[in-house]
Amino acid sequence: MTEANWDLFRLFSVVARTGSVNRAAHELGMSQPTLSRRLKELERYVAAPLFFRASSGVKLTQEGEDLQRSAGEMMLAFDSFQRDLRSRVGQRSSVVRISATEGMTKHWLLPRVKKLRELNRRIYLEIISTVNQQSVATSDLDYVIRMGDPGENDLIGKRVADIPMGIFASERYLAARPVPRSLHDLKDHDIIGHTADFVSFRNIRPSQRHVLEYFSTAAGTRSVVRVNPVANHFAAAGVGLGLALLAVPFAQAEGLVQVLPQETVTMNVWLLRRRESDLRKLTREVRRFLEGEFAASKAWLAGTHRTSRPTRRKA
């Protein structure tokens, strides 16, 4: 044996404590011949006898006593390490980190946190609310709720919902302007955002691309403000700055009015994770909860819970 095996020191400590190879073997759940063979390996490694063997049991040699003191210190240090490790692992395992867009966080995720906490008080959520695509690997995230392109190939998950993107404005804005009756009319309206804000849309259905093209073209000539993050487009529309392309359910929740409701762009919603996330029990619970809540709220996410009617300007 060229290197010391930690397990040999553990076996030695049990034999030294019990004073008997037979009793130690029984306590360790192994056969007496196997334990004796392992002890001889340790004696060959230290190049010294560790026990005086007798019919009544074993007694430590001088070398054995020295090793017992050193091994005892190692065992205490290892026990302390194990307790510290369990504590640290336990603390991280009770935290579930989720990244979601600002709109998804405000209008869908946060309203469900209380229900999740009622199911399991041990769960502690850390939510990163951002429109940027967070990397699960580099950010130590457990889940990413992503709209549009699922992104990283090393993630697993599934599409959990579809969200329509529609054109919205405030009642104040529509009270002062003719309500758009077609996409062609967008050129006559103030637009919130910039063409660059819409080029990142991917996986748009071919039948809906014209909506994005018309809105992007209008933004290229009639953009009145560009504000980042894009989540602030809700606020910009709310104060009457112009028309904005927004997620339908979130815009409805903000009290905005949808114009041209027949013209929408559908975005897929993905719940993504690493395979390793399933090793944590609480993380698995959160996944089942989120999947169930997405299934139960598909109609709301699709914007079919209410009908928005554009306000017409009085003659």
Task: Give the residues across from 277 on adjacent strands.
Answer: none
Residue 313: which residues within 8 A CB-CB, separation 6 or more? 174, 175, 176, 177, 178, 179
Position 29 in a domain: yes
* 100, 132 Cβ separation under 8 angstroms: no
Residue 15 sits in the same domain as residue 149: no
CB atoms closer than 10 angstroms to residue 155: 21
Of 44, 61, 91, which residue sits at a domain end? Answer: 91
Position 315 in a domain: no
Residue 237 sits in the same domain as residue 260: yes
Of 68, 91, 114, which residue sits at a domain end? Answer: 91
For 249, counting Cβ atoms within 10 Å of its Cβ (0-12 exposed, 13-18 middle, 19+ buried), the class is: buried
Q: Strand 191-192 relative to strand 244-247: parallel, antiparallel, unpaired?
A: unpaired
The pLDDT of residue 72: 75
CB atoms closer than 10 angstroms to residue 208: 16
Residue 123 sits in the same domain as residue 51: no
Residue 253 sits in the same domain as residue 174: yes
Position 312 in a domain: no
Six-digit token string for 104? 């998804």
Residue 43 sits in the same domain as residue 139: no
Position 218 in a domain: yes
Q: Which of 46, 11, 44 is nearest to 25 (CA)?
A: 11
> What CATH number is associated with residue 76?
1.10.10.10
The pLDDT of residue 3: 54
Residue 128 sits in the same domain as residue 212: yes
The pLDDT of residue 313: 38
The pLDDT of residue 105: 94
Domain count, the chain: 2
Residue 71 sits in the same domain as residue 117: no
Residue 100 sits in the same domain as residue 41: no
* pLDDT per residue of the chain (315 residues) written in tens, 0 to 9: 445 577 888 899 899 989 999 999 999 999 999 999 999 999 888 888 998 887 778 889 998 888 888 877 777 777 666 666 555 555 556 789 999 988 999 999 999 999 999 999 888 899 998 766 555 555 678 899 988 777 666 778 899 999 999 999 999 999 999 999 999 999 999 999 887 776 556 667 888 889 989 999 999 999 999 888 788 999 999 999 999 999 999 999 999 999 999 999 999 999 998 887 788 888 999 999 999 999 999 999 998 765 433 334 343
Range of the domain at 86: 6-91
The pLDDT of residue 190: 96
Residue 227 sits in the same domain as residue 158: yes
CA 112 to chain centre: 15
Of 62, 91, 120, which residue sits at a domain end? Answer: 91
User: What is the largest distance, in Å, between two alpha-carbon atoms of the chain?
Assistant: 112
> What CATH number is associated with residue 295?
3.40.190.290
Q: Strand 257-259 relative to strand 143-147: parallel, antiparallel, unpaired?
A: unpaired
The pLDDT of residue 84: 64
- Tokens 């919205």 belong to residue: 168
Six-digit token string for 28? 């360790």
The pLDDT of residue 296: 95
pTM: 0.67
CB atoms closer than 10 angstroms to residue 222: 16
Residue 148 sits in the same domain as residue 294: yes
